[in-house]
Amino acid sequence: MSGIAPTATRPTPRPGGGGSAPALDSGTRRGDAVFSGAVRGAAILLLILMGAIAAFLVYRAQDALSANTANVLTYTGTWAPDDAPPKFGIGALAWGTLVTSLIAIVIAAPVAVGVALFITQYAPRRLAQVLGYIVDLLAAVPSIIYGLWGILFLVPHMQGASQIISDVLGWLPPFEAGVFGRSVFTAGVILAIMILPIIAAISREVFLQTPRDQVEAAYALGATRWEMIKLAVLPYGRSGVGSAIVLGFGRALGETVAVAMVLSTSSIFVTKLLQPGGNTIAANIALQFGSAFSTGQGALIASGLVLFVVTFLVNWLARRITKHGGEARERRGLGALFRIGGRGDNTPMEAEFDATATAALAGSVSSLSDGRPEVRGAFEAKDSVPDVVADEAAGRNRTHRATRGAGLGGGVLAAPSGLRRFRSSLAGGLTVATFALAVIPLASILWLVVSKGSHALNVDFLTHSLRNIDEKQPGGGVYHAIIGTVEQAGLATLMAVPIGLLVAVYLVEYGRGMLARTVTFFVDVMMGLPSIVAGLFILSLWILGLGQKANGFAGALALMILMLPIVIRSSEEMLKLVPDALREASYALGVPKWRTIMKIVLPTALPGIITGVMLGVARVMGETAPILLVVGYINNINVNPFDGNQGQATLPTVIYNTFTSPEHASNDRTWSAALLLILIIMLLNIVARLIAWWKKPGRA
Amino acid sequence: MAKRIDVAGLSAYYGPTRAIEDISMTIEPRTVTAFIGPSGCGKSTFLRTLNRMHEVIPGARVEGKVTLDDVDLYGTGVDPVAVRRSIGMVFQRPNPFPTMSIYENVAAGLRLAGVKKRSELDDVVESSLKGANLWKEVENRLKKPGSGLSGGQQQRLCIARAIAVSPDVLLMDEPCSALDPISTTAIEDLISQLKSEFTIVIVTHNMQQAARVSDRTAFFNISGTGTPGRLIEIDDTSRIFANPTEKATEDYITGRFG
């Protein structure tokens, strides 16, 4: 903060120039009008954009729906919208989407909550901090990596697991035998592993916010650690964790490539979880898009609309749950997704401090309350009998005196009963177990990517394209994809940051009434948008609607749609953290509002905003699904993203287009591309957090 | 059953920092003992060492001896969970569990102890609320959340919650500092009633309060910032306020220092 204060005291240059009396009108007010017009304009532009997208989507979808000759809800035959007559059904797809996501959430939710409890309540202080960062980083691993690990590692290993499940639960129809790796169940497991870090990261954040006085109240009542968690931590975190789970569910519903890579699809209403077949809306779009013509694209857009509506409802539900638990916590919960550090009215530093303190609290408690049971038992035996007798002898007449003898075991310092002690240890053990359960697949992913990807990752790999490289041939690389990834993400950033920043400034500094509420609503809608639907947006508006080409720029547009809400939300959080006192100090010097925002508010919030932008860039760099729809895939170098005649490769699309190869040389390249992608994204995440940490107000 | 506390040579630390140094005192059963002293002199820290709440803070530790009727609270095999069961605590800000009803708040400690019988819980909740002078006000809304009460009522609810498990000692850390004068009077009256059954220790910033409610008063002080807090003297309240032994106490009480 100290770096900013001098700025506030610097005299404002007067529009009139040297020496004359202060201007009481024109200049400053015109500046304000222009500035507020600009930010309002950006907000309105966002609404127009969303409106146009919705209109084009509905228009395209309607065409295909009216041409459809099959019942769109019940049809389970082949997806054939381009046949004459066109036939396609969305009901079975929607069902498959729900089933895979339900499997995912049933597996992921308890494990993730256990992991969050372990990190916040049981793990030693230092370990807890490290684990927290690791969970955050894992939440940033792109889905293509999960898909790759799923098909090349999990599927072969799932057969054994599926066999066990069908042996045990085979008498239940959904688990009937028919053991096959690429089943709906496997897809659900992949989704579970994918959403686990996200749910765990948000839950951890929520648990860390448990008020200290609640924790102390529970301990002061003589609660064991598990009882304290039940009394203070869980009730407080209930709504936050609930919305984290629903957000995770939303993420699972919209996941595209991981399911497309793992599931062996068919258009049936899935009832047998362990057998191949079934499909999801998102995966179907990715798989069918390549061969779709006009009606086919419309049909996919129609299914995308269904997915959009479902995820929208789910996200709306998540917000409703948190609203129940308080507006402030909702912001924290959503903020946690991007780990900007800003929570509610805390400065990032304070929040960090709180977090550390709470985690440490858990740590120290864990080490201190581990007594020695045998000694304590002796204690109880020695003391309790005479004490109860004494109580009785004294003939205490107050009811709760009597209770004490009966209910509290009587002994002066008798330990909690064996059962309570056992329960507490059991709960602790369970959280450790869930943590181990979560770590195994995630560690396996990282290990596999590093071990398989490292030997082909060399300078040649970084400086050559795949042009004229046969699958069997070693050599070649991803130079072309690095260019594509950097250019598309860069263009997306160039577009998303100014618009997003202006919208955020509008919402925080100007936003009142209907327009602000509408914009906030749409930002929330965009926040939960499945990435494949963002691709469909650009497809229907930019490519089909406006007749533009499928090139790198179209990809950048789709990425911008995904990045905008992240930039807006994180900037909003950061701007809100700027203390009003700073604004008032500036106003009191006669500095107009727009200059106050430009010179005081934005610079103060800048490190946090940069962190948010970098996390946004990291997120869109790993996107596969929208790029599949709007950018053609090529093997050679194309440095011009505006080239209408050829597409561009990106790292995720290289992985997606090469993972099926049976050849070693090609396989090595796929893993190396995956390793490179993870490295870039991790690096961006780490640098983003370092900036947030380094620029923390109050850091000496 | 009120019990006596003996403290001998007690020091408490936050990490490397020593917050209080070499404190020894005896707290008699069925009395109210008040801790007074300037901010940062370690009154609250000392209070929290008496039921092992101090160690809940990361890096915090305690040296020395605290005995409750001859049982060493920091002895081997003594479970801090059990200590806190025997020595209840009321905090500066009322902290009822927000998701629980009034009834459940009071019953929380008993439920932890495994009391399940409804009639028994009903009895204790009623007697505890009566004991905390809150029964008449909440009798008809026991199922309502505790957070719906006023600040003073919430604090009495927290006292009811603490006495429901029949502790031997009740520690109060500035229990009235967040309350208005009327609620403060209600709490002070309550303290006078409760001392017939409990050993009560209260930290207060308000010297009039110490004079009003306590039988014994302990004065704590620090010689400067960064130095640990010390017990200057402990004596009957009337004597501390009328004729203290130590000059520092007199200076503090007469307002010449603070």
Residue B46's DSSP bridge partners are none
- B190, B213 Cβ separation under 8 angstroms: no
Helix count (H) and strand count (E) of chain B? Answer: 10, 10
Structure tokens at A580: 């009003």
- What residue has token string 């969303």? A50
Q: What is the pTM of this model?
A: 0.79
- At residue B138, the pLDDT reads 94
Residue B145's DSSP bridge partners are B101
* C-alpha neighbours within 13 Å on the C-beta side of residue A96: 35
- B97, B104 Cβ separation under 8 angstroms: yes
Quote the DSSP letter at residue A417.
P
What are the CA-CA distances from residue A127 to residues A112, A120, A441 (Å)?
A: 17, 10, 20
Around Cβ B98, how many Cβ atoms within 10 Å? 15
The Cα–Cα gap between A306 and A464 comes to: 41
- At residue A351, the pLDDT reads 35
Of A220, A227, A414, Cβ closest to residue B51: A220
Chain A interface, mutation test: which of B14, B55, B73, B81, most A Cβ atoms within 10 Å?
Answer: B81
Strands B60-68 and B5-14: antiparallel
- A491, A683 Cβ separation under 8 angstroms: no
Kindly list the averaged pLDDT for each block of 10 residues, start to end, along chain B of length 258: 89 92 94 93 93 86 92 88 88 88 91 87 93 92 90 92 91 90 90 91 92 94 87 94 91 75
For A451-509, the pLDDT digits (tens) are 999 988 888 888 888 888 888 888 888 999 999 999 999 999 999 999 999 999 999 99
Q: Is the pLDDT of residue A55 over 60?
A: yes
The Cα–Cα gap between A390 and B171 comes to: 24
Provide Rg for chain A, Cα atoms.
Answer: 29
- What residue has token string 């697991």? A161
3-state class percentages of chain A: helix first, strand second, coil last, to nearest 5: 75, 0, 25
Q: Which residues contact B154 (CB under 8 A, 6 or more apart)?
A: B94, B96, B146, B147
Provide, as residue numbers in chain B, all residues whose Cβ is less than 8 Å from the Cβ of A378. 77
For A557-614, the pLDDT digits (tens) are 999 999 999 999 999 989 998 888 888 888 887 778 888 898 889 988 888 899 889 9
The Cα–Cα gap between B82 and A261 comes to: 55
Phi, psi of B60 (to 5 degrees): -85, 140
Q: Do A238 and B69 touch (CB under 8 A)?
A: no
User: Greater confidence, A358 or B19?
Assistant: B19
CA A639 distance to own-chain centroid: 31
Nearest-Cα distance to chain B for A375, in Å, is 5
- At residue A25, the pLDDT reads 52
Q: Do B161 and A378 touch (CB under 8 A)?
A: no
> Which range, A406-410, A439-443, A503-507, is most confident?
A503-507
Q: Sign of the C-alpha dihedral, residues A161, A165, A168, A170? A: negative
| Of the candidates A262, A247, A285, A190, the residue with the CA atom closest to the CA atom of residue A626 | A285
Nearest-Cα distance to chain A for B251, in Å, is 34
Q: Is the pLDDT of residue A218 over 70?
A: yes
- At residue A474, the pLDDT reads 84
CA A378 distance to own-chain centroid: 51
Edge-first strand order for the sheet with B87-90 is: B87-90, B169-173, B199-203, B32-36, B216-221, B230-236
Mean pLDDT of chain A: 80
How would residue A4 be classed by pLDDT, with cut points 50, 70 and 90? very low
The Cα–Cα gap between A603 and A574 comes to: 11
- At residue A404, the pLDDT reads 40
Phi, psi of B13 (to 5 degrees): -125, 145
Quote the DSSP letter at residue B229.
B
Quote the DSSP letter at residue B101.
B
The Cα–Cα gap between A446 and A426 comes to: 30
- At residue A40, the pLDDT reads 93
Q: What is the mean pLDDT of residues A339-352?
A: 35
Of B97, B114, B165, Cβ closest to residue A235: B97
Residue A400: closest CA among chain B residues belongs to which residue? B124
| Of the candidates A269, A229, A186, A674, the residue with the CA atom closest to the CA atom of residue A449 | A674
Q: Is the pLDDT of residue A518 over 80?
A: yes
- What residue has token string 């494949």? A532
Q: Which residues contact B255 (CB under 8 A, 6 or more apart)?
A: none
Q: What is the ipTM of this complex?
A: 0.81
| Of the candidates A388, A432, A437, A435, the residue with the CA atom closest to the CA atom of residue A408 | A388
The Cα–Cα gap between A162 and A169 comes to: 10
Q: Do B158 and A404 touch (CB under 8 A)?
A: no
Nearest-Cα distance to chain B for A425, in Å, is 14
Q: Is the pLDDT of residue A337 over 50?
A: no
Structure tokens at A80: 């054939």
- H or E element in which residue B67 lies: strand B60-68
The Cα–Cα gap between B103 and B126 comes to: 9
User: Greater confidence, B226 or A531?
Assistant: A531
Around Cβ A448, how many Cβ atoms within 10 Å? 18
- B76, A415 Cβ separation under 8 angstroms: no
Provide, as residue numbers in chain B, all residues whose Cβ is less than 8 Å from the Cβ of A391. 1
Residue A239: closest CA among chain B residues belongs to which residue? B99
Q: What percent of chain A has pLDDT over 90?
A: 38
- At residue A325, the pLDDT reads 54
Nearest-Cα distance to chain A for B129, in Å, is 11
Residue B170's DSSP bridge partners are B88, B200
Q: Is the pLDDT of residue A37 over 70?
A: yes
Residue B245's DSSP bridge partners are none
- At residue A409, the pLDDT reads 39
Phi, psi of A381 (to 5 degrees): -60, -40
